[in-house]
């Protein structure tokens, strides 16, 4: 491959900071980085760098700031909103080599980890001490903790134990200018603005995270799973509200529809009832007496809610099988069609039944099948739209349908994302979720951390100009309320 003079200069400069093998610039080396888990959008980066130390990252950022080269940070690449989509004129900064667990503090129940550490590896490292890290995205075997912070990831147990933001206490961050920031602290509270919450879910727009202090929890004494089958998806959705209204707080509460049940059962032989229109997986954990009581109460609520079959996992092996089916649902659904598009919205729990009905109507309207798998307990929907990218115009139709689903979420008082982030996938729907004044404040925060807009530009926060073109924002007499923001 022949390098352009500009790219050749960039490569030579980066090779002065990093070993040559850590600066990738040949097309065949760049291809694996052209997308994240949202493969519908692809772009080959100009250069990929794989630093091993914070000092190397500082030097890379300083060089890029001087030359005004944009930088996109990347973790394990399991994201599902295009947040790690590279730029063809930018540097993709991989944090894959930041993969060490630096310290485990058993007295404080915390661990200090680098951003490239796999989510599951944290729990594996502390398991012998009877501890674990609670957030468990379905991709936890592969996804990195840095990416979890960037997207504020959740998982099947986030109903009881919270999202990433509730399970970290401190971050070490480098700004685009190379300044080192410590956000949060080793105590469970810190003075001043809650910048820790601001950074969590910021999608790589504000800084590069180099170190994370996570909370560790004692493993529950016991955990039991109830599988409840229903002959109607909306009825299953209503059962979710009934469980929470009954004063029961499950560790996890997941819903899968008929298509998802069949696909997951074929994939991992989970033992699901194949004839059900929907199933709920309801896990109760804690002390033995507490679990026994809540399990009995949940059983009664599910009976009253119209469950046609209720089964309690007989042992730990069956419990793990039930969860294996749920966690394998995304790859399992990949066998049903050439392509699928995974949406991510959140709604109030009491709206689940109505929104599922509306999703079914939209599926019929667009002529595209939709498989529903989601964290029902916290209202986090994951409709999977089946399509074929080889059919001209079908991806565009799928994107439009996905946008309509997210707009339904907003209409009922929900949000356009629960854990996958906005990235590029949902950037138009940000115009529906927020007004011009709110977006102006988002841009102001971005400029405060990154005045030259070089970190992950074009993601997460739309320009007001884009929103006006999208038709979702009021424009005053043909003029944008803040025309100076058109450049973003």
pLDDT at 39: 84
Instruction: Take residue 139 and report the two structure tokens written for it.
Output: 């991709």
CATH number for 337-411 (one of 3.30.450.20, 2.160.10.10, 3.20.20.140, 3.30.70.60): it is: 3.30.70.60
Q: Which residues of the chain have pLDDT under 70?
A: 1-2, 472-488
Question: What is the fold, at CATH topology level, of the domain defined by 5-94?
Answer: 3.30.43
pLDDT at 2: 63
pLDDT at 329: 93
pLDDT at 38: 87
Task: Please give the Cα distance from 108 to 106 (Å, whole number).
Answer: 6
pLDDT at 4: 86
Could you give the C-alpha distances from 341 to 306, 371, 394, 433, in angstroms and in order? 31, 10, 11, 21
pLDDT at 188: 80
Task: Please give the Cα distance from 44 to 106 (Å, whole number).
Answer: 43
pLDDT at 190: 81
Are the C-beta atoms of residues 111 and 103 closer than 8 Å to each other? Answer: yes
Instruction: Take residue 174 and report the two structure tokens written for it.
Output: 């480098």
Task: Please give the Cα distance from 424 to 382 (Å, whole number).
Answer: 17
Instruction: Take residue 325 and report the two structure tokens written for it.
Output: 């089916």
Task: Please give the Cα distance from 208 to 172 (Å, whole number).
Answer: 9
CATH code of the domain made up of 222-331: 3.30.70.2190
Q: Do domains 101-218 and 222-331 have the same CATH topology?
A: no
Closest by CA to 207, choosing from 226, 188, 181, is 181
pLDDT at 411: 97
Could you give the C-alpha distances from 80 to 12, 59, 197, 442, in angstroms and in order? 33, 30, 21, 22
* Bridge partners, 381 (sequence order): 345
Instruction: Take residue 276 and report the two structure tokens written for it.
Output: 């059900």
Q: Global pTM?
A: 0.92
**Interhelix angle for 258-268 vs 316-327, to 10°?**
120
Domain positions in the chain: 5-94, 101-218, 222-331, 337-411, 430-487
pLDDT at 189: 81
Task: Please give the Cα distance from 151 to 50 (Å, whole number).
Answer: 21
pLDDT at 478: 34
CATH code of the domain made up of 101-218: 3.30.465.10
Task: Please give the Cα distance from 289 to 293 (Å, whole number).
Answer: 6
Instruction: Take residue 328 and report the two structure tokens written for it.
Output: 């394998």
Task: Please give the Cα distance from 5 to 215 (Å, whole number).
Answer: 48
């Amino acid at each position: 491959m022949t390098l352009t003079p500009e790219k050749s200069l960039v490569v030579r400069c980066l090779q002065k900071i990093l070993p040559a093998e850590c600066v990738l610039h040949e097309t065949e080396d760049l291809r694996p980085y052209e997308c994240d888990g949202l493969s519908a959008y692809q772009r080959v980066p100009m250069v990929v760098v794989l630093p091993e130390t914070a000092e190397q990252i500082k030097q890379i950022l300083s060089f890029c700031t001087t030359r005004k080269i944009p930088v996109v940070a990347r973790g394990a690449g399991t994201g599902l909103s295009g947040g790690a989509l590279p730029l063809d004129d930018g540097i993709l900064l991989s944090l894959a080599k930041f993969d060490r667990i630096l310290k485990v503090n058993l007295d404080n129940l915390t661990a200090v980890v680098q951003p490239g550490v796999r989510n599951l590896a944290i729990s594996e490292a502390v398991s012998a001490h009877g501890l674990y890290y609670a957030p468990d995205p379905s991709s936890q075997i592969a996804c990195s903790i840095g990416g979890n912070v960037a997207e504020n990831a959740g998982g099947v147990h986030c109903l009881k134990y919270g999202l990433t933001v509730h399970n970290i206490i401190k971050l070490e961050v480098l700004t685009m200018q190379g300044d080192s920031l410590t956000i949060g602290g080793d105590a469970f509270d810190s003075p001043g603005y809650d910048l820790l919450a601001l950074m969590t879910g910021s999608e790589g727009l504000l800084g590069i995270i180099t170190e994370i202090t996570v909370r560790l929890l004692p493993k529950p004494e016991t955990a039991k799973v109830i599988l409840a089958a229903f002959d109607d998806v909306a009825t299953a959705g209503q059962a979710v509200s009934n469980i929470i209204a009954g004063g029961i707080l499950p560790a996890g509460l997941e819903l899968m529809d008929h298509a998802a049940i069949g696909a997951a059962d074929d994939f991992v032989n989970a033992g699901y009832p194949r004839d059900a229109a929907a199933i709920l997986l309801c896990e109760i954990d804690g002390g033995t007496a507490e679990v026994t009581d809540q399990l009995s109460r949940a059983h009664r609520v599910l009976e009253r809610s119209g469950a046609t079959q209720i089964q309690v996992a007989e042992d730990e092996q069956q419990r793990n099988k039930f969860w294996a089916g749920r966690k394998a649902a995304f790859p399992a659904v990949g066998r049903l069609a050439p392509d699928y598009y995974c949406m991510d919205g959140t709604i109030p729990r009491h709206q689940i039944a109505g929104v599922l009905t509306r999703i079914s109507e939209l599926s019929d309207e667009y002529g595209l099948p939709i498989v529903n798998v989601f964290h029902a307990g916290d209202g986090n929907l994951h409709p999977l739209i089946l399509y074929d990218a080889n059919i001209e115009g079908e991806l565009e139709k799928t994107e439009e349908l996905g946008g309509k689903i997210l707009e339904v979420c907003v209409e009922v008082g929900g949000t356009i994302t629960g854990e996958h982030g906005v990235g590029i996938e949902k950037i138009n729907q940000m115009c529906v979720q927020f007004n011009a004044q709110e977006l102006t404040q988002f841009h102001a925060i971005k400029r405060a951390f990154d005045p030259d807009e070089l970190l992950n530009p074009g993601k997460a926060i739309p320009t007001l100009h884009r929103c006006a073109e999208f038709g979702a924002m009021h424009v005053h007499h043909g003029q944008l309320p803040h025309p100076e923001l058109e450049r973003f």
